[in-house]
């Protein structure tokens, strides 16, 4: 009998919240294969998009992630360039927008994963898939 798959492992590796075995996405996060959300889990046949428009709520999670990332980028820029003034404005702007652009695939993937694993009361983990 296999050990119970942890929730943290399933979140980090983007696994199905129902069985914690099947992949939620096709393709890689960064690379030439564009990531898409699967319609159903290949391991347990759980519908990933529970209802039409379900992942619109992931936009709010992505927004919160983006705000935290922008604050972190601003703080790092403050430590390197000093306070926001006329001569450092473009440094702040470039760093913040570059961070948003580079982290957008990460935000796409993990906003959906957080929505599925943490904020979705309809999908429960079934440990019998670990057998």
The predicted structure's pLDDT at residue 49: 86
pLDDT digits (tens, 9 = 90+) for 69-97: 999 999 999 999 999 898 889 999 999 99
1 has a pLDDT exceeding 70? no
125 has a pLDDT exceeding 90? no
CA–centroid distance for 92 within its chain: 25
Phi, psi of 42 (to 5 degrees): -75, -10
Taking alpha carbons only, the member of 91, 93, 65 closest to residue 80 is 91
Structure tokens at 87: 């001569």
The predicted structure's pLDDT at residue 60: 94
Higher pLDDT pick, 92 / 34: 92
pTM of the model: 0.85
3-state secondary structure (DSSP) of residue 9: helix
């Amino acid at each position: 009998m296999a050990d119970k798959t942890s929730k943290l492992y399933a979140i980090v590796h983007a696994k199905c919240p129902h069985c914690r075995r099947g992949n939620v996405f096709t393709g890689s996060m960064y690379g030439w294969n564009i990531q898409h959300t699967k319609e159903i889990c290949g391991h347990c046949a759980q519908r990933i998009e529970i209802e039409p428009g379900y992942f619109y709520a992931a936009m709010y999670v992505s927004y919160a992630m983006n705000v935290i990332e922008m604050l972190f980028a601003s703080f790092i820029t403050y430590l390197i360039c000093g306070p926001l003034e006329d001569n450092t404005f473009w440094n702040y702007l470039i760093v913040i927008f570059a961070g948003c652009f580079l982290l957008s695939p990460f935000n796409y993937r993990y906003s959906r994963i957080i929505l599925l694993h943490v904020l979705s009361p309809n999908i429960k983990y079934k440990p019998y898939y670990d057998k």
